[in-house]
């Protein structure tokens, strides 16, 4: 028994019925049969386009939610540690403490022999480049400032993230207002815990 014989014996009563089927399958399809088939497809597949579009929109929505969830967690984990403020060369850490979960304090001190206003401006620039804003505080003369306050805030009020740093650069001055060479950096930190 050949494969062809096995085939028509499984699906057709006899070989003549199988031959009729083959002849009909090889005849060109008439326009009226084609039109009837497309009408049937429209009736059967009519609501399918709506279902497919709804399924596609649902898929895009689910994918968007997953991406938003991953992005939210990535940003939140990035805010779960204090900002890393690089100290100026020569500054030595005196205090590095975590007061409570998400709140910390650092205190640096450095001595610079023959500290000049230019060197102090270099220290200020070092921290200004890392921070969002810096302000000089003085009493009588802007060149005789006593503190530079700098802030960096990466908090997000709507999403509830906190990551903030405030530092104070304080050059020590003698009774005449001259620089002694000592500079302190006081840093307050807050972050998402």
Encode pLDDT of 117-153 as tens digits.
Answer: 889 889 999 999 999 998 888 766 666 677 899 999 9
pTM, entire model = 0.60
CA separation, residue 101 to residues 85, 95, 105, 159, 161 (Å): 19, 17, 12, 19, 14
Same domain, 43 and 97: no
Is 85 contained in some domain? no
Using alpha carbons only, what angle is made at residue 55 by residues 51 and 57, rounded to the nearest 5 degrees? 120
Residue pair 123/115 in contact by the 8 Å Cβ criterion = no
Same domain, 38 and 121: no
Q: Which residue segment(s) compose the domain that 143 sits in?
A: 92-191
Encode pLDDT of 13-45 as tens digits.
Answer: 667 777 777 777 777 766 555 555 555 445 545
Residue range 169-192: mean pLDDT, rounded? 89
Residue pair 112/95 in contact by the 8 Å Cβ criterion = no
Q: Higher-confidence residue: 114 or 78?
A: 114
Is 111 contained in some domain? yes
Same domain, 128 and 53: no
Same domain, 140 and 114: yes
């Amino acid at each position: 028994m050949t494969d062809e014989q096995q085939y028509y014996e499984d699906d057709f009563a006899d070989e003549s019925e199988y031959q009729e089927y083959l002849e009909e399958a090889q005849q060109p399809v008439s326009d009226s049969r084609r039109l009837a088939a497309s009408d049937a497809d429209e009736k059967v597949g009519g609501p399918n386009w709506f279902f497919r579009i709804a399924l596609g929109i649902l898929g895009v929505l689910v994918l968007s939610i997953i991406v938003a969830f991953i992005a939210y967690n990535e940003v939140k984990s990035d805010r779960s540690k204090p900002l890393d403020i690089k100290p100026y060369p020569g500054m030595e850490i005196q205090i590095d403490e975590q007061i409570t979960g998400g709140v910390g304090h650092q205190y640096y001190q450095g001595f610079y022999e023959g500290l000049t206003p230019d060197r102090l401006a270099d220290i200020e620039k070092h921290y200004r480049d890392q921070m969002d804003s810096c302000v000089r505080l003085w009493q009588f003369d802007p060149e005789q400032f006593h503190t530079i306050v700098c802030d960096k805030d990466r908090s997000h009020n709507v999403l509830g993230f906190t990551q903030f740093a405030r530092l104070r650069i304080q050059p020590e001055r003698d009774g005449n207002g001259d620089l002694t060479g000592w500079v302190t950096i006081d840093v307050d930190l807050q972050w998402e815990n």
